[in-house]
């Protein structure tokens, strides 16, 4: 069980250290990267020695973030001596990757996931924050840490990626106030959104092939899309595809079927209200009420048939 | 030339009137509707008699806005007596439609378009505002007008539609502060974005047919999409289609060709930096540096050939 710390307590722990290792989580997103980069800059400005780790490739989309080139890959068998490890936006220890093995200093964890496993020695947790970037902003405010333009850009990117440009249910007035304040540091919201929205030509060309597979069931309340094995390419991001069927007038639940192996089909579901996590659970998957997924050990047509049986029932009973 | 008024002056003019006609502009969008509806509610709460006019159908997307059912269609030959006409978010008088003919009271215009033609008797204009909804919010603040949940919902909708959910270049810290404050009136940002993002099944099915026409020129720096006459249907909204080619990595300018008549092709362009308004101008069109359009009196293939000649040169010289 971690010891809870507040904004002052967390900052004091960091001020008491000389050398700090900051760790972003596996599968890095805008929030873990932006929060870590802003914190790293604040600590360097406070005279600390800082090393940034992420045990993963940094997606192309986030390469514009100032300081992103200073990340190092942790090596499990090369211990890194430091006074404090700060793990940013990671709800469980395994999300540190190899950084878990090469760092042995006590851990401070700064996070906003309600599912946090309390693995750290000290924990600054606020599940009401839309992003860890919002917590970082509030911690800087509470400790009188001056922001720079690059810190503001990184924190703004952290916040907007995790609250879906203020469209997700986690968006609060406090989160938006933080973002509004960050806009005062001469950062350009349109340039940031441009960079974050950019998709690869491969992605849009695949979308063009996949979109015609859209099919409707249950009087238009269910909409499905399919990526058959012939079109599947793990290098091409398809995360955004589910939103096409999802945002059609009258659609209650949207499903994306992705045949990742001849006998394996990955299923993603999004709904307006129906509990799709219950549907996912019945196939050994999980998730949230309005966003869930599972993997079915069958070719796409059979997986689709089996899933639709359950989902149609769920939608009709809702 | 209009007489400029400030927040207090505008409110005082309205407080001096007993009956007010509020007019939203032709082709109503979230900003004109939300600003008008919030103002109407404020005036009713201040004991005024209020009539709302819009000379157009209200798009399905905006039907959720509280009070939208109280709009009336103006009839040119049925004069409506009132003390003050308030025209909301319309930069020129013709955007009032038939309301221009049936209303003869002096006009107060509340607007944020820099292109405003100063047609009104009094003008509250702030071109730095991302939306007229932002001006309305600031006017309410300046005059101590209390907000209700429905007013907040209408103003929030006005702001987010005109600043593209804080993604457009017009997004400022002030605009976002206003939105952040509105979120304190128990409105749900995710529900509002859900309603605004909803597309018709027709739109997505047409997108599925149109997306495969995407073609690249100038080493991938230009991307085009086409709606040939056989697929053109003026009932189906295609406004969002241009953003698919626009947000592809490496694309500098995106073009959408829409053949609206056998011999007429409408062209929309979006760019990252290249001045597409100059290209549009050379075909008798116009617009802004990064968003412009024109209509070419030729079938799609010929219109495309002619436009690309000019655009490729522009992109290569940039």
Structure confidence by residue, pLDDT tens digits, A272-316: 889 999 999 999 998 888 889 999 999 999 999 999 999 999 999
Same domain for A294 and A280 = yes
Cα B305 vs. chain centroid, distance in angstroms?
31
Look at residues A167, A182, A197 and tell me which one is the last residue of a structural domain: A197
Closest residue by Cα to residue A183 from B239, B123, B130: B130
Question: How far is Cα A223 from Cα A232, in angstroms, rounded to an integer?
Answer: 20
Closest residue by Cα to residue B73 from B95, B49, B57, B90: B57
- Out of B169, B181, B272, the one facing A173 most closely (by C-beta) is B181
Across the interface, whether the CB atoms of B172 and A188 are under 8 A apart is answered no
Question: How far is Cα B272 from Cα B222, in angstroms, rounded to an integer?
Answer: 11
Question: How far is Cα A280 from Cα A271, in angstroms, rounded to an integer?
Answer: 12
What's the pLDDT score for residue B91? Answer: 93
Cα B227 vs. chain centroid, distance in angstroms?
23
What's the pLDDT score for residue A318? Answer: 83
Number of domain units in chain A: 2
Same domain for A219 and A193 = no
pLDDT averaged over every residue in chain A: 96
Q: What is the mean pLDDT of each run of 10 residues along chain A (318 residues)?
A: 96 98 96 98 98 96 97 97 98 96 98 94 97 98 98 98 92 98 96 92 94 95 97 91 92 97 97 92 89 95 98 94
Question: How far is Cα A68 from Cα B281, in angstroms, rounded to an integer?
Answer: 41
Question: How far is Cα A286 from Cα A143, in angstroms, rounded to an integer?
Answer: 39
Question: How far is Cα A227 from Cα A265, in angstroms, rounded to an integer?
Answer: 9
Dihedral angle computed from the Cα positions of residues B52, B58, B63 and B67, in that order, rounded to the nearest 10 degrees: 0
Same domain for B51 and B177 = yes
List the CATH number of the domain containing A161. 3.90.1640.10
- Sign for the CA dihedral angle at B280, B286, B289, B293 comes to negative
Q: Residue A284, by phi and psi: left (phi above 0), alpha (psi -120 to 50) or beta?
A: left
For this complex, say whether ipTM is above 0.95.
no
**Number of C-alpha atoms within 13 angstroms, CB side, residue A132?**
31
| Domain hosting residue B252, numbered range | 201-317
Question: How far is Cα A52 from Cα A59, in angstroms, rounded to an integer?
Answer: 16
Set of chain A residues whose Cβ sits within 8 Å of the Cβ of B212 = 208-209
Residue pair B199/A248 in contact (Cβ under 8 Å)? The answer is: yes
What's the pLDDT score for residue B283? Answer: 97
Question: How far is Cα B297 from Cα B263, in angstroms, rounded to an integer?
Answer: 6
- Out of A165, A181, A249, the one facing B198 most closely (by C-beta) is A249
Query: Chain B residue with minimal CA distance to A273?
Result: B191
Question: How far is Cα B39 from Cα B52, in angstroms, rounded to an integer?
Answer: 10
Same domain for B91 and B11 = yes
What's the pLDDT score for residue B182? Answer: 98
Q: Provide the number of CB pairs (under 8 Å) joining chain A to chain B.
A: 123
Same domain for B52 and B108 = yes
pLDDT bracket for residue B115 (50, 70, 90): confident
Same domain for A178 and A29 = yes
Task: Kindly state the percentage of chain B with pLDDT values over 90.
Answer: 92
List the CATH number of the domain containing B299. 3.10.310.30
Same domain for A215 and A89 = no
What's the pLDDT score for residue B22? Answer: 98
Same domain for A259 and A174 = no
Tell me which residue has tokens 């995407």: B214
Same domain for A265 and A189 = no
Same domain for B166 and B257 = no
Question: How far is Cα B97 from Cα B55, in angstroms, rounded to an integer?
Answer: 6
Question: How far is Cα A276 from Cα A279, in angstroms, rounded to an integer?
Answer: 5
Chain A nearest CA to B149, separation (Å): 14
Residue pair B128/B162 in contact (Cβ under 8 Å)? The answer is: no
Same domain for A191 and A211 = no
Tell me which residue has tokens 């309305």: B136
Look at residues A177, A197, A217 and tell me which one is the last residue of a structural domain: A197
**Continuous segment of H or E residues that includes residue A245:** helix A243-246
Same domain for B13 and B153 = yes
Which of A159, A170, A173 to probe by mutation at the B interface, max B CB count within 10 Å? Answer: A173
Look at residues B171, B197, B223 and tell me which one is the last residue of a structural domain: B197
Residue pair A296/A308 in contact (Cβ under 8 Å)? The answer is: no
């Amino acid at each position: 069980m971690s010891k809870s710390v507040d904004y002052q307590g967390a900052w004091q722990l960091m001020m008491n250290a000389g050398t700090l290792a900051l760790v972003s989580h596996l599968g890095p997103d805008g929030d873990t990267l932006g929060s870590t980069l802003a914190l790293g800059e604040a600590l360097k400005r406070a005279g600390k020695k800082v090393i940034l780790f992420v045990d993963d490739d940094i997606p192309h989309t986030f390469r514009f973030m100032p300081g992103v080139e200073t990340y190092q890959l942790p090596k499990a068998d090369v211990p890194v001596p430091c006074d404090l490890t700060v793990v940013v936006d990671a709800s469980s220890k395994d999300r540190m990757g190899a950084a878990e093995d090469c760092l042995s200093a006590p851990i401070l964890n700064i996070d906003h996931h309600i599912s946090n496993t309390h693995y750290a020695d000290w924990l600054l947790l606020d599940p009401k924050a839309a992003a860890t970037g919002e917590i970082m902003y509030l911690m800087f405010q509470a400790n009188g840490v001056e922001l720079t333009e690059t810190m503001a850009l990184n924190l703004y990117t952290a916040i907007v990626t995790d609250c879906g440009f203020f469209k997700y249910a986690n968006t609060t007035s406090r989160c938006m106030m933080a973002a509004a304040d960050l806009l005062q540091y001469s950062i350009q919201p349109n340039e940031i959104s441009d960079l974050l929205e950019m998709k690869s030509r491969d992605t849009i060309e695949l979308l063009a092939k996949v979109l015609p597979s859209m099919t409707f069931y249950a009087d238009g309340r269910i909409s499905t899309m399919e990526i058959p094995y012939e079109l599947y390419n793990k290098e091409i991001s398809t995360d955004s595809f589910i939103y096409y069927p999802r945002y059609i007038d009258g659609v209650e639940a949207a499903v994306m079927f992705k045949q990742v192996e001849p006998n394996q089909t990955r299923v993603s579901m999004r709904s307006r209200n129906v509990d799709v996590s219950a549907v996912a659970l019945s196939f050994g998957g999980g998730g949230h009420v309005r966003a869930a997924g599972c993997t079915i050990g069958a070719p796409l047509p059979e997986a689709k048939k089996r899933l639709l049986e359950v989902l149609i029932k769920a939608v009709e009973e809702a």
